[in-house]
């Protein structure tokens, strides 16, 4: 019984860690919807140091819906790589033209 309580606590802590990364997205210029939006991984070194931070990026969305380019506008260096890696997996609805969107990711322990 004690082991299952501890396992439950670890699961709850892991869930809180995953929920600690929040992406606040602005709409793409042409109003495209997101169809895949993986959350950036919270870096282990930042977790151990209990760091919080924000990363702001501008993305170029290709007509096929994938993120074609990421320009970092600002943010905590420890969180930039995790943000870029997650954005490589984002997917928007296809369209006839490229579009841009400004996104902000908030990381909290």
Confidence of residue 90 (pLDDT cuts 50, 70, 90): very high
pLDDT of residue 11: 39
Q: What is the CATH number of the domain that holds 79?
A: 3.30.2420.10
List pLDDT tens digits, range 20-57.
554 444 444 557 889 999 999 999 999 999 999 999 99
Number of domains in the chain: 1
What tokens does 66 get? 């994938």
Query: Residue 74 is part of which domain span?
Result: 2-107
DSSP the chain: -HHHHHHHHHHHHHHHHHHTEEEEEPPPTT-PPEEE-PPPPPPHHHHHTT--EEEEEEEEE-TTSBEEEEEEEEE-HHHHHHHHHHHTT-EE---SS-EEEEEEEEE--
Work out whether strand 34-36 and strand 91-92 pair parallel, antiparallel, or are unpaired.
antiparallel
Does the pLDDT value for residue 96 go beyond 80?
yes
| pLDDT > 50? residue 88 | yes
């Amino acid at each position: 019984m004690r082991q299952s309580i501890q396992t439950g606590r670890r699961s709850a802590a892991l869930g809180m860690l995953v929920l600690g990364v929040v992406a606040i997205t602005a709409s793409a210029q042409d109003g495209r919807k997101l169809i895949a939006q993986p959350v950036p991984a919270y870096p282990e070194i930042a977790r151990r140091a209990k760091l919080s931070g924000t990363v702001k990026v501008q993305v170029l969305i290709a007509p096929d819906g994938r993120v074609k380019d990421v320009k970092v506008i600002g943010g905590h260096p420890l969180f930039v790589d995790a943000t870029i890696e997650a954005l490589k997996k984002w997917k928007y609805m296809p369209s006839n033209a490229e579009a841009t969107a400004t996104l902000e990711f908030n990381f909290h322990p």
